[in-house]
């Protein structure tokens, strides 16, 4: 079961030019978004731990995003 609400992902897709989003496409978008967030969080957590922290900070997320780009 998806953690992200499908409606929110569809809204994001529509704000970025999609006129309509099929239910199968919405499910795929949710899955890919959750995979991206999971991978980004793992890397940000690794960076936080490396810095001696348990808390992920904005800088960790930004550095993790740059690394994955």
Using one digit for the tens of pLDDT, what is the confidence trace for 1-27? Answer: 689 999 999 999 999 999 999 999 999
The pLDDT mean for the chain works out to: 96
pLDDT of res. 42: 98
Better-predicted residue by pLDDT, 67 or 11: 11
Domain residue ranges in the chain: 6-68
* CA distance linking residue 6 with residue 17, whole number of Å: 17
Structure tokens at 8: 């929110």
> SS3 of 6, please?
helix
Instruction: Judge whether residue 69 has pLDDT over 80.
Output: no
Residues 6+ apart with CB under 8 A from 55: 48
Q: Is the pTM of this model over 0.75?
A: yes
Assigned fold of 6-68:
Histone, subunit A (1.10.20)
């Amino acid at each position: 079961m998806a953690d992200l609400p499908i409606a929110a992902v569809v809204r994001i897709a529509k704000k970025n030019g999609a006129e309509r989003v099929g239910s199968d496409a919405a499910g795929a978008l949710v899955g890919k978004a959750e995979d991206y967030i999971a991978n980004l969080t793992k890397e940000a957590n690794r960076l936080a731990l490396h810095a001696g922290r348990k808390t992920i900070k904005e800088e960790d997320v930004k550095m993790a995003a740059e690394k994955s780009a």
